[in-house]
Structure 1
Amino acid sequence: MEHFTFAGYWERGDAISHAIAWLLLAMSLASWFFILSKGLMSWRVRRSARVVQRFWDAPTLADGVAVVSAGDAEGIYLALAEQCTVPAPDGKGNSLGTAVGRSEQVTRLLRDAIHRSTVRLELGLTLLASIASTAPFVGLLGTVWGIYHALAAVSSSGAVEIDKVAGPVGEALIMTGVGLMVAIPAVLAYNGFNRVNRLTLSELDAFAYDLHAYLTQDAAKR
């Protein structure tokens, strides 16, 4: 009995079959690149979460920002802490930003900082989601095309033999499995990174709220 192997699929395949296989390989490499890079980044971000408490334990704002800068390797929390060093506008400018009060100015600065951190956290997730959703269909396309190619070859030969059909059809089914093997890690990684991002963004929101209360209260006292 003939064994079903990817080598057999490659040998019997045409240019389209080869292109689909190369596409799945490229999707797999891209997926694992982002899984490993984002995994390292997520680990470093979660490890840096403790700098928020260290910030509030610091004696001065300058010391707090220095602590966050030293402990936040990815700069996710630092983007917010750095807003403490931005001087308060004197209200004499002609720009729209100086036409509002100190509280609104701080809110805008912190919101922009959270936006920058969010962009960094979500970098690459769209690619992972796209690979997770399309890889099974690309593999299925390879299977359908492989079966069509095998049946076309049998039809042109004029003789239908089960051994001649089973081998190419079985090997074409391998592409569906390959597509699932590409998609499953991407799905699991995407869900894991989304969970990490939700935790981090929740902490950033809380940090921004506390910073806003501190900075506006400090301005009111002056």
Structure 2
Amino acid sequence: MSSPQFSGAVQNRVLSHEDWKEKWETRNIGFHVANVHPLLAEFLNEMQDGRTQMNIFFPLCGKAVDMKWLADMGHNIVGVEVCEMGLREFFTEQDIPYTEEVVAGIPGAKVFKSTSGNISLYCCSIYDITDSVIGKFDGVWDRGAMVAVNPKDRQRYANVVLSLMAKDCRYLLVTFEYDPKLIKGPPFYVPESDIENFLGPSCTVKLLKKIDALTDRQKQWGLDFCFEKIYLLTPRL
């Protein structure tokens, strides 16, 4: 199937941080998944690659239950999310005691840390995050981030993630494929060409699975097809 082309309206669509905060405040959070994502469960071994106690990065983490699931396995979790409400709800709903601190070097940023020490969630813009603040990572789980950033910022977002990847990092990326002329997003359609253009020069890109993800809800949006795709990206040596 050839890749549909963006309409100008979609390509130029911009959601501000305030727009995302409003989604949380009005409970317009259909992007939140109540259970561990089945593609993460299926391909976790691809990320772990035999390793334990990994540092795993969750960009635009929201209150993903996947974070507790991986932390319970002994991994160290670091997430970034602009909406404080989502981060507080994560700790409350998962019954995890936490502390709150300011982040040196990022004006207005906070970090919420589990008292056990293996979950640190930063409340700030993804574009303010650097490896000097949060370090490098052995794994990245990107289920709702690449598809949520404004299309015009996709290269900027990719550069942030690349800067946080250790040399042996294994990055699981989930995207959607649909006709972007029919809905404006998010979730935004991410063509494979963008993954190759923005991440391919630094990483090998492997499609692990493509599944039919068309739901009744998406049919109501006017979509006649929707595929969910998961890729494994590994730094080129």
Give the structure-2-normalised TM-score. 0.19
The structure in which a higher percent of residues are strand is 2
TM-score normalised by length of structure 1: 0.20
Larger Rg: 1
- Greater share of helix residues, 1 or 2? 1
